[in-house]
C-alpha cells in the first residue's frame, strides 16, 4: 500500500462525517427561518393561500409603481379641460399631441434636458476623479495620516446637508484663494458633488479587496504610484467605477435645492429647477407633457444600466449595514 492510499483511507471517515461537504438543512431549521413551516406548506389550502397572497402583493406593488407613470403618460396627451373635469377618464375629448409641441418649441425643454445631461455627466466625472484618487491614497498608498482622514470623512456622513448649505454657498460665492465666483457655472454644482463622503467610502472598501500581491508585484517591476493606479487598480475597479458614476448621475438629476441656489440664470438651469419656475405660465396638460419628458430620461437610463443600478443598491446596503 502506497503513502497515497494510506492518506485516502485515513481521510475517508472524515468525508463520511460531513466535513468535506455541507449537510442539507433540516426541516426544523427551515421552519424557524420562515413564517410557515414546510409541513404546513404541503397542505393544499395553505399552499394556495400563500400563492394568492403573493400574487396580490405583487400586483399591488406593480400598480403602485407603474400606475402613476401610466397616468402621467395619459395626461400628457390629454386636454386641460379633460384633466380638470375627469382626471381618470380615457380621453373624453380625444388625444391631443400638441402638448409636446408646446413644451418642445415654446418652452424649449430640450435646453433644460441638455443642461441636466451636462450637469449629470460633469458631476459623475468629478466624483470619479476625486473618489478614485482619494480612495487610492487611503487604501493603496496608506500614508501615516490616512486613518485620521478616513475617520474624518466618515464623520461627515453624520452631518446633515442643510447644516453645511450656508458655508458651502459662501465658498462658491467667493472661492478662497482665487477670489472668483462660481455662480451660474456648472462648477458650482460639479465640485460639491465630487466631495461625496459616501462615494469615497464605497470606493475605498472596494480597493481594500484588491489583492495586495498584485500591487507589490507591480512595484517590484518598477511601476510607480500613477502606473499602478492606471494599469492595475482602475482596470480591476470597473464595477465600482460604473456604480459610482451611476449613483452620481442619479443624484445630480434629482437634485433641486442646490442648483436652485447656485444657478439663478434660467439659461443654465436643469430640468428639476426649470419646471417649477415655468409651471405658472403653462397649461395643466402641457405641464404634464413636460413632466413626462423629464421622466423618460431616468427610465431609459435605468433600462440601459439596470444591472449596474441594482449592483449599486446592493453595495450601498452593504456599506450602510
Instruction: With CA atoms as reference, report the closest residue to 132 among 213, 236, 223, 217.
Output: 236
Greatest extent of the chain over all pairs of C-alpha atoms, in Å: 95
For residue 223, give the 3-state DSSP assignment.
Answer: coil
The pLDDT-based confidence of 80 (bands split at 50, 70, 90) is confident
For range 275-293, the mean pLDDT: 87
DSSP 109-127: HHHHHHHHHHHHHHHHHHH
CA distances from 320 to 154, 194, 202, 313 (A): 12, 20, 10, 11
Q: 10 Å Cβ neighbour count for 237? A: 21
Q: How confident is the model at residue 137 (pLDDT cuts 50, 70, 90)?
A: very high
Q: Which residues contact 140 (CB under 8 A, 6 or more apart)?
A: 207, 210, 215, 225, 228, 229, 233
Domains annotated for the chain, with CATH where assigned, are: 32-101 (no CATH), 107-281 (1.10.3720.10)
Please spell the DSSP secondary structure of 276-316, one letter per residue. HHHGGGS-HHHHHHHHHHHHHHHHHHHHHSHHHHHHHHHHH
Question: pTM to 2 decimals?
Answer: 0.74
For residue range 25-55, list pLDDT tens digits in order.
444 444 445 566 666 667 777 778 888 888 9
The radius of gyration of the chain from alpha carbons, rounded to an integer in Å, stands at 28
The pLDDT of residue 86 is 81
Whole-number pLDDT of residue 27? 44
Is it the case that residue 291 has pLDDT exceeding 70?
yes
Amino acid at each position: 500500500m502506497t503513502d497515497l492510499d494510506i492518506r485516502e483511507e485515513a481521510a475517508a471517515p472524515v468525508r463520511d462525517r460531513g466535513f468535506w461537504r455541507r449537510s442539507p438543512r433540516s426541516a426544523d431549521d427551515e421552519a424557524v427561518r420562515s413564517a410557515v413551516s414546510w409541513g404546513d406548506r404541503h397542505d393544499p389550502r395553505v399552499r394556495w393561500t400563500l400563492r394568492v397572497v403573493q400574487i396580490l402583493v405583487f400586483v399591488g406593488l406593480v400598480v403602485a409603481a407603474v400606475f402613476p407613470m401610466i397616468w402621467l403618460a395619459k395626461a400628457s396627451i390629454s386636454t386641460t379641460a379633460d384633466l380638470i373635469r375627469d382626471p381618470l377618464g380615457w380621453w373624453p375629448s380625444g388625444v391631443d399631441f400638441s402638448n409636446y409641441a408646446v413644451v418642445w418649441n415654446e418652452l424649449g425643454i430640450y435646453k433644460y434636458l441638455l443642461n441636466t445631461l451636462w450637469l449629470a455627466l460633469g458631476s459623475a466625472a468629478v466624483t470619479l476623479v476625486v473618489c478614485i484618487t482619494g480612495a487610492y491614497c487611503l487604501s493603496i498608498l496608506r500614508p501615516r495620516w490616512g486613518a485620521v482622514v478616513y475617520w474624518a470623512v466618515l464623520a461627515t456622513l453624520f452631518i446633515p446637508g442643510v447644516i453645511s448649505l450656508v458655508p458651502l454657498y459662501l465658498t462658491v460665492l467667493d472661492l478662497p484663494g482665487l477670489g472668483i465666483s462660481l455662480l451660474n457655472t456648472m462648477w458650482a454644482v460639479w465640485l460639491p458633488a465630487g466631495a461625496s463622503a459616501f462615494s469615497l467610502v464605497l470606493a475605498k472598501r472596494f480597493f481594500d479587496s484588491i489583492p495586495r500581491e498584485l500591487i507589490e508585484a507591480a512595484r517590484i517591476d518598477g511601476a510607480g504610484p500613477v502606473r499602478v493606479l492606471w494599469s492595475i487598480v482602475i482596470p480591476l475597479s470597473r464595477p465600482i467605477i460604473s456604480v459610482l458614476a451611476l449613483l452620481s448621475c442619479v443624484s445630480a438629476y434629482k437634485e433641486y435645492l442646490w442648483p436652485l441656489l447656485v444657478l439663478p440664470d434660467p439659461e443654465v438651469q436643469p430640468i428639476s429647477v426649470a419646471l417649477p419656475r415655468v409651471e405658472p405660465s403653462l397649461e395643466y396638460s402641457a405641464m404634464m407633457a413636460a413632466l413626462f419628458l423629464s421622466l423618460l430620461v431616468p427610465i431609459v437610463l435605468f433600462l440601459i444600466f439596470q444591472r449596474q443600478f441594482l449592483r449599486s443598491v446592493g453595495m450601498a446596503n452593504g456599506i450602510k449595514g
